[in-house]
Amino acid sequence: QSVLTQPASVSGSPGQSITISCTGTSSDVGDYNFVSWYQQHPGNAPKLMIYDVSKRPSGVSNRFSGSKSGNTASLTISGLQAEDEADYYCSSYTTSTTVFGGGTKLTVL
């Protein structure tokens, strides 16, 4: 069982916006601004999409944004595209370690 809780699946149509939640506790997500989000296509290594809650690495589309409220972090993807279909993982710092969420499968309808 993962420390951070994500929905198992979300879906949306092309052009729509979706949000993936990542719920932790006051010992991880709630206490630190060290939340990251990763995208993983089947058979590929993960790709960093968001770090430090809301920062985008260079090269990542501005359709991807991150936020946090209390113990829950969120990844929002706007203007959904077919290539966004993938697994998404959140992670957070907590007491000298990093924990991941269980992952969310995004389906673009």
Partner 1 sequence: EVQLLESGGGLVQPGGSLRLSCAASGFTFSIYAMTWVRQAPGKGLEWVSVISGSGDTTYNADSVKGRFTISRDNSENTLYLQMNSLRAEDTALYYCAKDTLPGRFWSGVDYWGQGTLVTVSS
Q: Rank residues 32 and 78 by Cβ distance to partner 1 and give the closer one.
A: 32
- Least distance (Å) between residue 21 CB and partner 1: 16
Q: What is the DSSP letter of 55?
A: B
- Which of 57, 62, 49, 44 shows the shortest CA–CA distance to 91? 49
User: Residue 68 — φ and ψ, nearest 5°?
Assistant: -150, 140
Nearer to partner 1, 13 or 42 (CB): 42
Residues that bind partner 1 (CB under 8 A): 2, 32, 34, 36, 38, 40, 45-48, 50-52, 57, 89, 91, 93, 96-103
Q: Residue 12 forms beta bridges with which residues? A: 108
Classify 83 as helix, strand or coil. Answer: helix
Least distance from partner 1 to the Cβ atom of residue 18, Å: 19
Shorter beta-carbon distance to partner 1: residue 71 or 91: 91
